[in-house]
Structure 1
Amino acid sequence: MSNTVLIADDSMFMRQILKRTLAEGNYQVIAEATDGCEAISLFKEASPDIVLLDLTMTCKNGMTVLKEINNLDPNAKVVICSAMGQSKLIVEALNYGARDFIVKPYFNELIPALNKLVS
C-alpha cells in the first residue's frame, strides 16, 4: 500500500503539480489544505504518513502549523515545500521538527526525500 500524504499549500496550481509528482512516486494524497488552519484540522482527521507543508499560507503560516503538528505528534513526518529557501528559514524549520526542506520548483528532489523518510 502506498504512503499517505496531506498537501498544505494555498496555490491550487502547486497542489496539482505536487499531486501528480506524488502519484508518479506511488504516494497517495488523502487530503489537501488551502490554509494553515485547515492543515491542522486535516492532520488530526486524516492522520497522514507525511505532510507536505508550504510556509506562506493564510490563517496560520507554515512555521506555526509545523510547530502545532509536532506538538500533536512528535513523530510526524513534515516536509516543508516552499519557494522561500533562505538558509535561515531552512534551519529554523529543521529546528522546529521538519524532516526535510524542498525548495520549489525543484520537485525532482521530492520523491527521493520522501522515500528516505518512509524506508
Structure 2
Amino acid sequence: MANILVVDDAAFMRTMLKLILMDAGHVVVAEAGNGLEAVEVYKRIKPDLVTMDITMPEMDGIAAVKGILSFDPSAKIVMCSAMGQRQMIMESFTAGAKDFLVKPFHKDKVAETIEKVMSI
C-alpha cells in the first residue's frame, strides 16, 4: 500500500486513476490539477509516490518532476501520457521519472507499475 498524489489537469482522469489505485489497495492522499500545485502539495505531504500527467497548464509535468526531485531526490514519480508522446516520455525519464503509464489507463498495468516503482 502506498500513499499517492495524483496529478492531472483533467478532473475525470484524476477520478479514474484514483478509483483504480484505491481498488489496488493504495491511498490517494491528495490531488493536484497542475505542476505548480503538484510541487507545493508534494512538499507539504511527502507522499510515497506521485502519478504525474505530462501536459498541464501553469507548469508541465516534466518541470514539476524536476521541482519535486530538487526538493526530494528520492521521490518516486510515474508519468502519465496519452499515446504517441514518446519524445515527452523520454524527456520525463531524463528528468527523473521512474516509469510511465499510457492513457487510457488499464487497471492491471497501473497496479503492476505502482508495485514495481514502490519496490525500487
CA distance in 1, matches of 2:117, 2:102: 17
* TM-score, normalization by structure 2: 0.92
Aligned CA RMSD, in angstroms, stands at 1.2
* TM-score, normalization by structure 1: 0.93
Aligned to 1:104: 103
CA 1:66–1:90 in 2, change beyond 3 Å: closer, same or farther? Answer: same
CA 1:98–1:85 in 2, change beyond 3 Å: closer, same or farther? Answer: farther
CA distance in 2, matches of 1:70, 1:79: 13
Question: Matches of residues 1-119 of structure 1 in structure 2 within 5 Å?
Answer: 2-83=1-82, 85-108=84-107, 109-119=109-119
**How much does 1:84 deviate?**
5.1
Decide which moves more: 8-17 or 88-97: 88-97
Unaligned runs of 5+ in 2: none
Matched AA of 1:88? Q
- Once the two structures are superposed, what CA deviation does each residue of 1:38-67 show, in whole Å capped at 9, x if it has no partner? 111100011000000001111111110011
CA distance in 2, matches of 1:96, 1:69: 10
SS of aligned partner of 1:51:
strand
Matched AA of 2:65? L
Amino-acid identity (%): 41
Does the CA contact (< 8 Å) of 2:81 and 2:89 recur in 1?
no
Count of paired positions = 118
* Runs ≥4 residues deviating over 3 A: none
CA distance in 2, matches of 1:84, 1:39: 23
